[in-house]
Amino acid sequence: MLALALLALPSLAWAASGAHSHPHSAVNAAATAATSKQPAPTAAYDRTTWQGEEQIKDPNAECTYYSYPPVNAIIGSYPAIWKTADLSAAGISADDKALFRALNATIPQIQPRGDRAGNFQGVVYDGNSDPDCWWTYTRCTTPKIASLQDDVTKCDQPNTWGFTLDDGPNCSHNAYFDYLNSINQKATLFYIGSNVLDWPLEAQRGLADGHEICSHTWSHPYMTSLTNEQAFAELYFSKKAIKQVLGITVRCWRPPYGDVDDRIRFIAEALDMRTIIWNADTDDYNWVTQGLPAIRKNYQSILNNQSAGAYDDSGVIVLTHEIDAGTMQLSQEFLPQIMKQFTGGVLPVAVCMNNTEPYVEQSSYVYPNYAQWAAGTRSVSLAAPTAAPNSGRLILDAQASGGVTISGATVSTAPSASAVKQMKTTGSTSSQAAATTAAKSGASQAVVPGLLALFGVLATGLAL
């Protein structure tokens, strides 16, 4: 039976309202890339190194834009800040475009759905068979395409709390990162590429402080809404910005709002990036609409679940955000109790996966393994963050599972048909096509049993 359903999801207030934009974004969004128009550095402070930048404690001063030469040198070869990435901006190199062309023919034929703000109205999807392992609809984290890796959703060790902070880097967060240093606590930071170019020294501080860095796309869209080209560019340019500003090539990413399916996973894996989700959500960004007490209940619920033994076999990865003063305050309030209860450790995802060398630059950045962490080691050897504006195109290694080896030697060669993935579920592509055709032709739709319950989950739990 082909079961069809309509999905209409609320769009995210803070994304839609432009809460993410600030003066520098506006400068770049105008696509002038004219560094001479940027405001002069604030004289009273050292805004040239992360060590100087982290000394600033006045949030207004922290959030005064500064000019950073290594970013000025590269900004023209990136998509516009905080706009959906694509490959059309004037300065984007032929090499970067060639990487996409080498990959495109192998990408699973799954249609984009909805828009970048998460409006899925009118989208038709077979939620029963879930042909594309679309997380937003079914919370699927085990891809239907056999060769794709499962999403990472939890920490394996008992009573561990995988500590993740999304949406950085940002100005005005020095006090919070000072606090994390004071308790010697490290997290996984999911960085938005546009923020990395806007706040490069703050980005460097995160790495210098010993946190693990992963990508959170270029401009924070619902990824399944994008074309192949846009989805590639969102991931590629976030990864490239992190390389050119921090000096590391990341191999992990988290989809904004969790919105991922097998097409997006395929592109991410081709770019050598593992998809990281979560299995507990504080909903912390929602304090703005729900109030702090409501979010405290969510934190408390995870703590209560721990007390009840929910994590005696394996731990959690918890979704929390840097974003703003409220989310940082909640984190600071609860960390002491979390550290007390989660005796397996409160740790970055790489450490809970026992992955000591999470970046392509392996031996230069060594994190503790799980046993070392449990014994109190918080860092083994981490090279200083180093802007590398001349690093050019990223060469992606053969571990990429997209079936295409993207390297200097092969980018201009079209991939062979044999590189195209085999679907686990035969015919899933055609059933998707049928669903799309039915939607276009306005065919009558059978509603999935239990849809309302699912819809309730989506409507209340989606904005991430």
Catalytic residues: 166, 321
114 counts as binding Zn ion under rule CB under 5 A: no
> What is the C-alpha to C-alpha distance for residues 249 and 358, in angstroms, rounded to an integer?
9
Q: Which of residues 156-195 bind Zn ion (CB under 5 A)?
A: 166-167
Contact residue for ligand NAG among 86, 126, 166, 229 (CB under 6 A): 229
- Total interface residues for ligand NAG by CB under 6 A: 25
Helix ranges (DSSP H) in 73-199: 94-104, 135-138, 174-182, 193-198
Best CA proximity match to 261, nearest among 237, 228, 289, 294: 228
323 counts as binding ligand NAG under rule CB under 6 A: yes
- The answer to whether the CB of 62 falls within 8 A of the CB of 46 is no
Backbone CA torsion sign across 425, 430, 436, 441: negative
219 counts as binding ligand NAG under rule CB under 6 A: no
Contact residue for ligand NAG among 77, 195, 225, 320 (CB under 6 A): 195
**Placement of tokens 């209560």 in the chain:** 304
Least distance from C-beta 177 to ligand NAG, angstroms? Answer: 12
172 counts as binding ligand NAG under rule CB under 6 A: yes
Least distance from C-beta 292 to ligand NAG, angstroms? Answer: 15
Among Zn ion, ligand NAG, none, what binds residue 349 when CB lies within 5 to 8 Å by partner kind?
none
Among ligand NAG, Zn ion, none, what binds residue 286 when CB lies within 5 to 8 Å by partner kind?
none
> What is the C-alpha to C-alpha distance for residues 252 and 152, in angstroms, rounded to an integer?
10
What's the distance, CA 455 to chain centroid? 24
Comparison of 132 and 229: residue with beta carbon closer to ligand NAG = 229
> What is the C-alpha to C-alpha distance for residues 89 and 101, in angstroms, rounded to an integer?
16
**Class of residue 24 by CB neighbours under 10 A (exposed 0-12, middle 13-18, buried 19+):** buried
Binding string, residues 290-319; x marks residues near ligand NAG by CB under 6 A: --------x--xx--x----x---------
Q: Which of residues 364-403 bind ligand NAG (CB under 6 A)?
A: 369-371
> What is the C-alpha to C-alpha distance for residues 304 and 316, in angstroms, rounded to an integer?
13
24 counts as binding ligand NAG under rule CB under 6 A: no
Strand partners, 217: none
> What is the C-alpha to C-alpha distance for residues 255 and 44, in angstroms, rounded to an integer?
38
Token readout for 331 is 């984190």
Comparison of 188 and 298: residue with beta carbon closer to ligand NAG = 298
228 counts as binding ligand NAG under rule CB under 6 A: yes
Token readout for 429 is 């592509």
Comparison of 280 and 394: residue with beta carbon closer to ligand NAG = 280
Residue nearest to Zn ion (CB): 166
Among Zn ion, ligand NAG, none, what binds residue 388 when CB lies within 5 to 8 Å by partner kind?
none
Q: Is the peptide bond before 169 cis (omega within 30 degrees of 0)?
A: yes
Residues binding Zn ion (CB under 5 A): 166-167, 256
Residues binding ligand NAG (CB under 6 A): 19-20, 104, 107, 109, 167, 170, 172, 195, 228-229, 280, 298, 301-302, 305, 310, 323-325, 354, 356, 369-371
